[in-house]
Amino acid sequence: MGLDEVFDYFRSYDKSSFHVVACQGNEPTERDVADFERAIGFTLPEDFRAFTTSPLGGLYIEVRENLWPAAEPFAVGPFWSFLRGLQVFGIANGIPDWLDIRVQFKKFVDDGHPSVVPFLKIEGDADWYCFDRSGAIVRWNHEQDSFEPVELGFSELLLHELRELEERKDRKLRDKDSVPSRS
Pairing between strand 75-76 and 18-21?
Answer: unpaired
Cβ-Cβ contacts under 8 Å for 29 (sequence gap 6 or more): 53
First to last CA, the chain: 44
User: For position 183, what pLDDT does the model report?
Assistant: 46
Round to whole Å and give the CA distance between 166 and 143: 27
CA-to-CA separations, 1 to 52, 74, 85, 137, in angstroms, rounded: 18, 40, 22, 16
Contact 153, 47 (CB under 8 A): yes
Sign of the four-CA dihedral 46, 50, 52, 57? negative
* Strands of the chain, DSSP E: 18-21, 59-63, 75-76, 85-88, 116-122, 128-132, 137-141, 146-149, 181-182
pTM of the model: 0.90
Mind listing the pLDDT tens digit of every residue in the chain (183 residues)? 688 999 999 999 999 999 999 988 889 999 999 999 999 999 999 999 999 999 999 999 999 999 988 888 888 888 888 889 999 999 988 899 999 999 999 999 999 999 999 999 999 899 999 999 999 999 999 999 999 999 999 999 999 999 999 999 999 888 865 455 544
